[in-house]
Each structure stands twice: as C-alpha cells, then as structure tokens.
Amino acid sequence: MIICGQTFSPGTIENIQRLVDETPDISRRALSRRVCELLAWRHPDGRLKDMSCRKALSRLHKSGTLRLPDAVQDFAFTRRTVQEQFIRSPVSCSLQEMGNVTLVLVDNRLSKEARTWKSLMKLHYLGDHLFCSSLRYLVHSSVHGWLGALAFSPAAFRVSVRDQFIGWDE
C-alpha cells in the first residue's frame, strides 16, 4: 500500500503496530519520527518527513489497518481560557480615585505582560489575534489593577478603492 509516496508493506505495518503496542503512551508525533527513522523517510536535505508520516499514519488508522493511540487535542497554544482575575464588573470612579494610571508597553511576546494582554483581549469579541505588527499596551491602575489592553496597528498600506479615489498610483 502506498500512502504519501511511501510504501507500507504488511510487515512494516506489523512493526509499527508492535511499536505502538509496546509503548502505549507514545505520542503520534514521537511515533511518526520513529517510523520515519525506521523507513529512512527523509527530505532531500536530510530532515525527517514527519508531517507526511503523520498523515499516512492517520490514514492507516482511519482505514482500520493500524490502531494508534488517541490524538491529543488539548494543545496549550490553542486554549482560550481567560484568567478569572480579569473577569469583573467595570470600574466606575473619578480619575483621582484610580490612583496612578500607567500604560505598560508589551514589548516581548513571551513576557508575563504579554500573557496578561492576551488574557484581557480574549474578553473582546474579536479576540486576541492581530494580523500585523502593532504596539501593545496594558492600562494599569495602582488602586484597581489591570484596567484594559490596547493595540495600535498600522493602516492598510494598499487599498485599491481608496488609492483610486485620492489619486494615488505606484
């Protein structure tokens, strides 16, 4: 049987099933890497054809030819949880009652401030996804804590209807 350009003989499928049975907690990703090494399935530059292998293993599993461990669907980067501390009623008071209000620049996407920014933006109906580079800020009150999150993105560089209307060309 040929899947994704690779031949899977009955013996190869038996070897893969034995590997799955002997290591039941193996992830599909780790399994695909082991299978790539077993079959010497590589790109011309030497990298393992990991994605093609996962696709082939999935097809073999769906056809009933191979029994694989359950796929993990709860990836950390796809979770859309909001930290409970950010869910509260709106703050309604004078500026003086807020204490010191500061804007905190979020300049590192891996920082604690970036995680706070993402959690706050997940409360927005558009979510926390920005499609281009932007400036990101947190709004903080010394009395009430985090008040909100801001993002400033550049305008579209080219919009043909607008460009024609105002007479812009190349």
Domain membership flag for residue 34:
yes
Q: Are residues 86 and 135 in the same domain?
A: yes
Q: Are residues 53 and 96 in the same domain?
A: no
- Residue 98 to residue 108: CA distance in whole angstroms: 27
- Residue 44 to residue 47: CA distance in whole angstroms: 7
Count of structural domains, the chain: 2
Q: Are residues 84 and 52 in the same domain?
A: no
**What is the pLDDT averaged over residues 31-52?**
91
Position 141 scores a pLDDT of 92
Position 130 scores a pLDDT of 64
Report angle CA 51, 52, 54 to the nearest 5 degrees: 65
Domain membership flag for residue 6:
yes
Sequence-ordered list of residues with C-beta below 8 angstroms from that of 162, at least 6 positions apart, any chain: 168
The pTM assigned to this predicted structure is 0.45
Domain membership flag for residue 47:
yes
Asked whether the beta carbons of 97 and 143 are under 8 A apart, the reply is: yes
Q: Are residues 116 and 83 in the same domain?
A: yes
pLDDT tens string 82-131: 455 666 678 889 989 999 999 999 988 888 898 888 888 877 766 666 65
Q: Are residues 81 and 57 in the same domain?
A: no
pLDDT tens string 5-26: 899 999 999 999 999 999 888 8
Which one-letter amino acid corresponds to residue 149?
A
- Residue 134 to residue 19: CA distance in whole angstroms: 47
Higher-confidence residue: 73 or 88?
Answer: 88
Boundaries of domain holding 147: 77-152
Q: Are residues 7 and 46 in the same domain?
A: yes
Q: Are residues 89 and 25 in the same domain?
A: no
Q: Are residues 7 and 45 in the same domain?
A: yes
Q: Are residues 45 and 84 in the same domain?
A: no
Q: DSSP class of residue 148?
A: E
Q: Are residues 145 and 86 in the same domain?
A: yes
Q: Are residues 31 and 88 in the same domain?
A: no
Domain membership flag for residue 53:
yes
Dig out the tokens for 118 from the structure.
């993402």
Q: Which of 33, 62, 91 is the last residue of a domain?
A: 62
Domain membership flag for residue 87:
yes
Domain membership flag for residue 158:
no
Domain membership flag for residue 99:
yes
Tell whether the model's pLDDT for residue 143 goes beyond 50.
Answer: yes
Position 126 scores a pLDDT of 67
Q: Are residues 90 and 131 in the same domain?
A: yes
